[in-house]
Amino acid sequence: MVSIPRENAFDSSLAVLKDGFTFIQKRCQRHGSDIFQTRLMFQNTICISGEEAVRLFYDPERFVRKGAIPKPIQKTLLGQRSIMTLDDGQHRRRKEMFMSLMGPTSIQTLMDNMATEWQAAISRWQQRNQVVFFEEVQEILFRGVCAWAGVPLDATEVHRRTRHFAAMVDAFGAVGPRHLRGRWGRQQSESWMQGIIEQVRSGQLTAPDGTPLDTLAVYQEADGQPLPARMAAIELINLIRPTVAISWYITFAALALHEHPDWRKRLQTGNGEELDWFVDEVRRFYPFAPFTGARVRSEFSWKGYLFPKATLVLLDIYGTNHDPRLWEQPDEFRPERFQNWQGNRFRLIPQGGGDYLTGHRCAGEWITIEATKVALRYLTGAMEYNVPEQDFHYSLSRMPTMPKSRFIIRQVQPIATSF
Ligand code: HEM
């Protein structure tokens, strides 16, 4: 057996907070290896990076998710005992339910809602001197996704509830006040959603047929039992919260348009494929999910390295999306790299890799792509705006990260659209 390069530090948890998105890639470079081991939260952890590592990680025979997600992340970002923690038959059944909501008609309905919200937002912004784009986009997405999900939303609640959902996302790599805000956001949102599920089950509220609310309220486990109301609420939140999270990509997409004005023109005049390349490049280039984790199902060896049973393994998402062996000049924003891209489930992994049904690849990848495209259509074809001087810097230590200014725009003016 070959021994896995080991970090000298007794525990690297603080280094994760310091190096953030670059934690795994930096150490792989230092060890000259796609694999190293360290201690995180006082447990032995193997970190892996690159395409072959992705192929290994998404082999469903090799890993389980049970016990892989740290409690602080379950208590903020993901919810406890949700789909992300399930394995095998139980996971497959739950994932089929999620994927049943991702058909083209369902996604089109969501995109139509988003388009309506973009129109309304542009009219509102026109009345204001300046807007903080990131926060406004969160409200657009939240309104749109609640309407799609069948979740009733009072206009007076939009601002407060959006902040709760955004706080869950903003908490995932945090300690201290940011973590506490995420916990508070989760408690508030779970109670709210649980109440709605209970109202549907008791007949006080009607969930429109086929909506996520309807689907989750009636969903049964393999034993024929409905999900406990809290669990149904958590899974409903697992559709709404990550849709609000697309605001991170949409804000980065707006930044990319600002920094690459030639691409604004190309998107305005192109035949649509440029939009696909641009969105894939936004998802590849900008940091959002740093890594994902699983535990070894039973001992195996890979390239001569031993993976002992139950060891925590982290797959480097950000580093693989910036791997110079896979991407020419990975630290440049170049959408045209996707021009002749045939697609590869193990290379472009901003939302995980492998299969949707047999693995944990993101259920909402198509929604993410389409919602970012809708946003770009509005940004390039339905409004004019100025971008004042501001601090666009984003830190790779902060997880998740965002330009410091949260992208401020001024003097918004609608222009006639043809879509
Ligand atoms: C899982 C990223 C948007 C629903 C995941 C995973 C990642 C991810 C990294 C885990 C992959 C793994 O551990 O193997 C993102 C990013 C998004 C996004 C960066 C956009 C900013 C969405 C949306 C939805 C969604 C819009 C739903 C509407 C899910 C679900 C899972 C998941 C349900 C769990 C899948 C499973 O455990 O089988 N996502 N996601 N995500 N995502 Fe997303």
Predicted pLDDT of residue 74: 86
Share of the chain above pLDDT 70, in %: 100
Q: Report pLDDT digits (tens) over 58-98.
A: 999 999 999 999 888 888 888 889 999 999 999 999 999 99
Q: State whether ipTM is beyond 0.85.
A: yes
104: Cα within 13 Å, side-chain hemisphere: 0
Summarised one tens digit per residue, pLDDT across range 194-248 is: 999 999 999 999 999 999 999 999 999 999 999 999 999 999 999 999 999 999 9
How far, in Å, is the centroid of ligand 1 from the Cα of 245?
10
Q: For ligand 1, say whether the CB of 95 is within 6 Å of any of its atoms.
A: yes
Q: Which of 68, 66, 83, 74 has its CA nearest to residue 187? A: 74
Q: Which helix (H) or strand (E) holds 8?
A: none
pLDDT digits (tens, 9 = 90+) for 342-366: 989 999 999 999 999 999 999 999 9
pLDDT, mean over the chain:
96
Spatial contact of 189 and 161, defined as CB atoms under 8 Å apart? yes
DSSP 8-state symbol, 22:
G
Pick the residue whose CA is nearest to atom 1 on ligand 1: 362
**DSSP letters for 308-333:** -TT-EEEEEHHHHHT-TTTSSSTTS-
239 CA to middle of ligand 1, Å? 9
Residue 418 clears pLDDT 70, i.e. is over it = no
Residue 158: burial class (beta carbons within 10 Å; 0-12, 13-18, 19+) = middle
**Which among 41, 57, 31 has a CA at the least distance from the CA of 316?**
57
Ligand 1 centroid to residue 170 C-alpha, Å: 15
Domains, in order of start, for the chain: 13-414 (1.10.630.10)
Ligand 1: residue whose CA is nearest its atom 9:
351
